[in-house]
Structure 1
Amino acid sequence: MKNITVIGIWVLGLSVMLSTGCSNDKKTEVQKTAEKQTAEPASRNQEESQGIVLLRGLPTLGTQHSIAIVELDPESQKFGDILHEFVYEDFEHPLHHLYYSPNGRLYATGLDPACSLAEIGLHRDASGSPAIKGMQCLDTQGQQVGEDIMWHTVNGKQYMFVTFMGGTGVSQADGGSIGVFEPQTNAVVKVIEARRSEIPEGAPYIMYPHGISAYGDRMVVSSTIHPDLATGVGNALTIIDLNNFTPIQNITIEDAKPVGFPSSPVEVLFVRPEISKLAKPSVLVNTMFGFETWQVPYNEADKSFGNPVKVYDGVSSGTGVPLEFYGTETELFISHALPGVVKRYKLDSLPELVSSGPDIQAEAGAHHMIFYPTQSGRKVIAVQNNLLNLGNAADGDPTDVDFIAKVNDHSITVSDLMTGERLAAVNFKQRYKKGVENVEALFGSGFVHHH
């Protein structure tokens, strides 16, 4: 596959179709009820509404990559203000995703081969205010382009698992690996790799791994896209036996090809009892280029996976590029980059997707999200609206990839969690001449389930 940018023609058409085809539905009973309620001031930690944000410098606008603490309370006069910022200059490509370990340490995966995994020094300064004192790039034993991180216990021992879309070298056409790390020392325990060009024909492979989730001694990773966005696209899941860190099965997740490319499974969520005791164990999968959400049944008795079943069709529903799984104590949220919307479902009904409330209308590139209360106690959701945060040809930005630029709003939007009403928005490109790569809650207070 030599050029994937032709997807832009179809994506742009879908974007126009979706933006002109939306209608204003009548207010739901939930909205009516919420509008009658008066928000009472509530005691809270004011840091709950502050997000830690990865910002991407744009070369043509003269800005540099940074890690920032941003006020995201729409009721605050400081909404959208950067309260603290740590700038790093040594890498061409930025840090990509933020994750908190179970004991509160902050990590970031990175797009630059020279810093594909880092630990962030989030602490409090002498006045007690949150601050970032630095970042330490970690030894990955050559693994490049980090994506998702997961902490999971196997046979009584906890590990940190990281997917690397570039595997042990971005030059590899079929690369990809999962790094197994000792979570206290950050040392590599094992590199799980199975390139199709180096294993027997028909053997389980790992290629462009991105999403990762686990239950018991079974881990699932997705095969998404080569880091250069041109060499290849995946269409399968890989099942890994965590007793020996070995891939044991591939499951194809693909139906229609609305943009003419493989489905590109992106995020995966192993539905399991710790998420909801009433939910049936199974795997949910978003396909970035298939525009679909799939469910793969799981039989706990014999640890087998059933045939994939499509549970959401984006083409017929008017959405495209589904990305993330997030959740609160009662709901599951799925972001769709086109037209920029977050859909919500009842947690206890999983793996069936049963709507739990009005959609959250975000912007093009709806991606990561956090949940927190405002100063008055109003529950809100903040959505980061950028797919890959690349540039725009109109700016002469060398990072431009045309179709991706169509799903980048460079903003964070904040909406009422109950009604879906938009409360505020901050556009980082307009205000700070930077793109917004990722948002997480400060000190990990803003979400329950991630991916």
Structure 2
Amino acid sequence: MKRFGIWVLAALFGGQLVGISQNALAQANDREESQGIVLLRSLPTLSDHHSVAIIELDPEAETFGDIIHEHEIEIEGMKEPLHHLYYSPQGRLYATGLDAACSLAEIGLHRGATGSPKITGVDCIDTKGMTVGEDIMWHMSKGTEYMFVTFMGGTGGDDGGALGVFDAQTNEVVKIIEARKSQVGDGKPYIMYPHGISAYQDRMVISSTIHPDLATGVGNTITIIDLNTLEPIQTITVEDAKPVGFPSSPVEVLFVRPSIHPEAEPAVLVNTMFGFETWKIPYDADSKEFGTPVVVYSGVENNTGVPLEFYGNKTDLFISHALPGVVKRYDLSKLPDLVPSGPDIVADPGAHHLIFYTSKSGRNLIAVQNNLLNLGNAADKDPTDIDFIASVNAHTISVHDLETGKRLATVNFKQRYKKGVEYVDALFGSGFVHHH
């Protein structure tokens, strides 16, 4: 199981503005749209510090690929990196983390007196024992907005995992939602290794992916949370093919809803990491009932594997597939059906997170971060070497023309900076419309 089981994913950041002159702000914004914020992971034998950095991603810029500002993360006892970045509705930047020493953090991201962006610090948040943070979503529950965070490790145990409910202003834990399969009884809804998260009205869905130790267990379900009671009410299995011999391992989920596109029909889309499939679960908004899950995309039939993220702009839904390293696009108005809407974007092995922006000349671009866990290979005398994992960690960000998919440029972080790139997001959150 360890050969294929080392796939844990994902990312988060948020920024806030400070008072600066209009001239300085205009000058900063001139190139700000093409700047990304990245989480960088130390690689055995090559580097010894994780960091968060701002990088230029316009291939038309002379400084393409240059790190504009970098802040090394030095937290006592922290070995594993920060993992995903998310911006709150108020513009605050957050990160989930793979290490128990800092499984959730708020990042200081500001503009200085000249308008230049700067990372000012990383403040770990007290999670009350919940570990291995993955995805974040801000949503309402009975008229109050909360920050919801999935923790694959939960508070520990072989069938652990939790959904943390945080005060959206103070970052205080409001509730830990747990439901261990070993304790709830047969047929009862349970939460196990939760990763993906999405919501519509008073229903939230979270996925069951893999135990944080990457060996104890793998999930094959999603769980429905009633946002009125903040309790799990249903667990749905999404599993069919087993191309690598393991349970399907649902990773990211997307609750298709009218706010994404007014013509889209409500449903839940689920990417199964080890099943190589995308599933659709119909949803009746009137009765609040979920229908029978069906496969809408088979990686086995289409020669792709490890589907990961859901992203979108105003017209298209994009799904990244780590193998062979490709991003497919679909008509947003036809969701939840996956109707192709343009050419594939051929990236690198490990194709994962995305941002959308424009070049200096106005060309529409998409940048793809290509890696799963940024582990190394034997040539680097990396003790964590696993051949399969090395094959899905290109350690790159590739930049493509959005319309044609043509690759325009690539930054290889391993070669240039001796680090792996764990995540990419847009600086100050300007680079995508929908995520999950």
Scaled by the length of structure 2, the TM-score of the pair is 0.93
Could you tell me which amino acid in structure 2 is paired with residue 419 of structure 1? T
Relative distance call for 1:6 and 1:449 in structure 2 (3 A) is closer
1:174-210 Cα shifts (integer Å, max 9, x gaps): 0100000011000000000011122222211100000
2:59 matches 1:61: no
Q: Distance in 1 between matches of 2:346 and 2:258?
A: 30
What corresponds to 1:314 in structure 2?
299
In structure 1, stretches of 5+ residues that fail to align are 12-42
What corresponds to 2:106 in structure 1?
119
Q: How far apart are residue 140 of structure 1 and its match?
A: 0.4
1:230-280 Cα shifts (integer Å, max 9, x gaps): 111000000111111111111100101000000000000000011011000
Q: How far apart are residue 127 of structure 1 and its match?
A: 2.1
| Alignment match of 1:4 (pick from 2, 25, 39) | 2
| Alignment match of 1:446 (pick from 387, 408, 431) | 431
| Alignment match of 1:434 (pick from 394, 419, 422) | 419
What corresponds to 1:149 in structure 2?
136
Q: Distance in 1 between matches of 2:168 and 2:4?
A: 41
| Alignment match of 1:190 (pick from 152, 160, 175) | 175
CA contact (8 A) 2:5 2:215 kept: no
What corresponds to 2:210 in structure 1?
225
Q: Indicate the larger mover: 82-91 or 391-400.
A: 391-400
Q: How far apart are residue 46 of structure 1 and its match?
A: 1.3
SS, match of residue 131 in structure 2: coil
Could you tell me which amino acid in structure 1 is paired with residue 198 of structure 2? S
Scaled by the length of structure 1, the TM-score of the pair is 0.90
Could you tell me which amino acid in structure 1 is paired with residue 197 of structure 2? I
Could you tell me which amino acid in structure 1 is paired with residue 225 of structure 2? I
What corresponds to 2:73 in structure 1?
88
What corresponds to 1:251 in structure 2?
236
Q: How far apart are residue 394 of structure 1 and its match?
A: 2.7
Q: How far apart are residue 44 of structure 1 and its match?
A: 6.8
The share of aligned pairs that are identical, in percent, is: 72
Q: Distance in 1 between matches of 2:429 and 2:4?
A: 39
2:68 matches 1:100: no
Q: How far apart are residue 153 of structure 1 and its match?
A: 1.2
2:267 matches 1:269: no
Q: Distance in 2 between matches of 1:393 and 1:281?
A: 47
1:367-398 Cα shifts (integer Å, max 9, x gaps): 00000000000000000000122222332223
| Alignment match of 1:160 (pick from 147, 150, 161) | 147
Q: Distance in 1 between matches of 2:90 and 2:188?
A: 37
Aligned residues: 414
CA contact (8 A) 2:160 2:192 kept: yes
- Stretches (4+) displaced over 4 A: none
SS, match of residue 74 in structure 2: coil
What corresponds to 2:316 in structure 1?
331
Q: Distance in 1 between matches of 2:5 and 2:219?
A: 15
1:133-164 Cα shifts (integer Å, max 9, x gaps): 00100000100000000001122210100000
Q: How far apart are residue 7 of structure 1 and its match?
A: 6.9
What corresponds to 2:121 in structure 1?
134
Could you tell me which amino acid in structure 2 is paired with residue 398 of structure 1? P
CA contact (8 A) 2:43 2:374 kept: no
Q: Distance in 1 between matches of 2:306 and 2:202?
A: 30
SS, match of residue 61 in structure 1: coil
1:340-363 Cα shifts (integer Å, max 9, x gaps): 000000100000101110001100
Q: Distance in 1 between matches of 2:96 and 2:268?
A: 24
Q: Distance in 2 between matches of 1:45 and 1:183?
A: 31
Q: Distance in 2 between matches of 1:6 and 1:73?
A: 35
| Alignment match of 1:414 (pick from 399, 402, 405) | 399
Q: Distance in 2 between matches of 1:45 and 1:78?
A: 14
Q: Indicate the larger mover: 54-63 or 270-279.
A: 54-63
CA contact (8 A) 1:7 1:403 kept: no
What corresponds to 2:283 in structure 1?
298
Could you tell me which amino acid in structure 1 is paired with residue 2 of structure 2? I
CA contact (8 A) 2:5 2:214 kept: no
SS, match of residue 59 in structure 1: coil
1:423-451 Cα shifts (integer Å, max 9, x gaps): 00000000000000000000000000001
CA contact (8 A) 1:204 1:248 kept: yes
Q: Distance in 1 between matches of 2:47 and 2:119?
A: 22
What corresponds to 2:37 in structure 1?
52
CA contact (8 A) 1:63 1:433 kept: no
CA contact (8 A) 2:81 2:99 kept: yes
Could you tell me which amino acid in structure 1 is paired with residue 127 of structure 2? T
In structure 2, stretches of 5+ residues that fail to align are 8-27
Q: Distance in 1 between matches of 2:33 and 2:352?
A: 20
Q: Distance in 1 between matches of 2:205 and 2:230?
A: 12
